[in-house]
Amino acid sequence: MPPALPGARPDFIQDIAMTNGNSEHVTYRVKHFDPDRDQAPRWQEYRIASSAGMTVLEGLWQLKETQAPGLAWRASCRMGVCGSCGMWINGKARLACNTQIAELESSFVTVAPLPNFDIVRDLVPDLTPMFDAHTVVLPFLIRSDRAEQESPTVEYHQSREELERYLQFSYCIKCGCCMAACPTFATDALYSGPMPLTQAQRYNSDSRDDGFGQRKTVLAGTAGPWRCHYAGECSRVCPKGVDPAKAIQLMKRELVLDFLRLRRHSRPTDLVEKPEGIKRRPDIPEAPARTV
């Protein structure tokens, strides 16, 4: 057996690639935009070798290493957790790390920055408007017991059922795919968008929260869920199954009931009773000092 060339992949990996019929070449069509040189974005095509299981993000890395050293994009965890690599891939907003080239079922991989956001450079969108809208809907627990929130003594009570009322919406990684897919956000810059509204609903439906009235000042207005007409695109593209369209409709129900004075106001849950007469076991160390 001849000695393996440096850098060559072991035979068995190539075998897997061959048996999957996937050790082919694909053409990447990539949108480029350099603010210092380009007046408008331009498309460029590259051919790269793809193998079984290869993701769109891995293809981009390969491109950068071999053909397009200046190509810019955002990515970090490469496993669908950080939400950095949202891109417009073959006509749909997806995470580049979460999308295998094979699942596109095409010999072309078209990669563009997420639409509805300004292009900073190449595949990097400026997500600032989304995070601004996110801030405006107060995405945190709002309660009257400020002191307890700042320096907690015990936990807030929450049952499993109460948790499930918002858990799905808390899986959001703020990648911006839903904003890129939304037909309203495509034309209306004043619309909050699916992500901020879903997060507002996440806190509105949290049994520990008492901020419905405060968030309503934004949500009842023109930036609120009224701009949603259930095109459903956000839920279709969400890489985490957060289902923003569902959150927005549930939010509309609450706001309509509120307008009709039919919304049941429930007090935010109380603190769990502090257990008494319990001593720390000697083998469990003290909690470290707070750093914030």
Partner 1 sequence: MRDQSLWTWHVIAGVVILVFLGLHMGVMHLDALLGLFNPEGGHPIDWGNVLARMKSGFFTVTYVVLLGAALFHGLYGLRNIVYELGPGAGLRSAVNAVLWIAGLALFAIGSWAAWAASRLATTL
Partner 2 sequence: MLDVRGHPNRLGLWGWLGGGRWGTDRYLYTLHRLTGLGLLGYFVLHIIVTSSRAFGQQAWEQAMARVSGPLFLIGEYLVFIAFAFHAINGIRLVLIELGIGVGKPIEPVYPYRTSLDVQRPLAVGAVLLAAVLAVVGGLDFFVWH
Q: Which residues bind partner 2 (CB under 8 A)?
A: 33, 35, 38, 40-41, 88, 90-92, 113, 115-120, 125-126, 128, 164-169, 171, 181, 183, 186-187, 189, 205, 228-233, 235-236, 238, 240-243, 245-247, 249-250, 252-253, 256
Q: Is the separation of the CB atoms in 210 and 145 below 8 Å?
A: no
Residue 125 DSSP code: E
Number of C-alpha atoms within 13 angstroms, CB side, residue 158?
Answer: 16
What does 232 interact with, of partner 1, partner 2, none (CB < 5 to 8 A by kind)? partner 2
What does 28 interact with, of partner 2, partner 1, none (CB < 5 to 8 A by kind)? none
193 by DSSP, 3-state: which?
A: coil
Shortest distance in whole angstroms from residue 207 CB to partner 1? 23
What does 220 interact with, of partner 2, partner 1, none (CB < 5 to 8 A by kind)? partner 1
Spatial separation of the C-alpha atoms in residues 101 and 37, rounded to whole Å: 31
CB closer to partner 1, 171 vs 259: 259
Shortest distance in whole angstroms from residue 232 CB to partner 1? 16
Sort 237 into a burial class: Cβ within 10 Å, 0-12 / 13-18 / 19+. buried
What does 206 interact with, of partner 2, partner 1, none (CB < 5 to 8 A by kind)? none
Tokens 């790269």 found at? 48
Q: Which of 18, 81, 231, 256 binds partner 1 (CB under 8 A)?
A: 256
- Is 249 near partner 1 (CB under 8 A)? no
- Alpha carbon 150 to chain centroid distance? 28
Shortest distance in whole angstroms from residue 197 CB to partner 1? 13
Shortest distance in whole angstroms from residue 256 CB to partner 2? 6
Shortest distance in whole angstroms from residue 88 CB to partner 2? 8
The dihedral region occupied by 6, where left means phi > 0, alpha psi between -120 and 50, and beta the remainder, is beta
Reference 124, options 90, 91, 96; nearest CA is: 96
- Is 13 near partner 1 (CB under 8 A)? no
Q: By CB under 8 A, which span of 24-32, 161-169, 199-207, 226-234 interacts with partner 1?
A: 226-234
What does 190 interact with, of partner 2, partner 1, none (CB < 5 to 8 A by kind)? partner 1
Parallel, antiparallel, or unpaired: how do β-strands 86-89 and 108-112 relate?
Answer: antiparallel
Spatial separation of the C-alpha atoms in residues 250 and 90, rounded to whole Å: 31
Reference 122, options 134, 130, 114; nearest CA is: 114
CB closer to partner 1, 117 vs 156: 117
Taking CB under 8 A as the rule, which mask of x and - marks residues 175-194 in contact with partner 1? ---------x--xxxxx---
CB closer to partner 2, 262 vs 292: 262
**Which residues contribute to the site for partner 1 (CB under 8 A)?**
184, 187-191, 216, 219-222, 224, 226-227, 229, 252, 255-256, 258-260
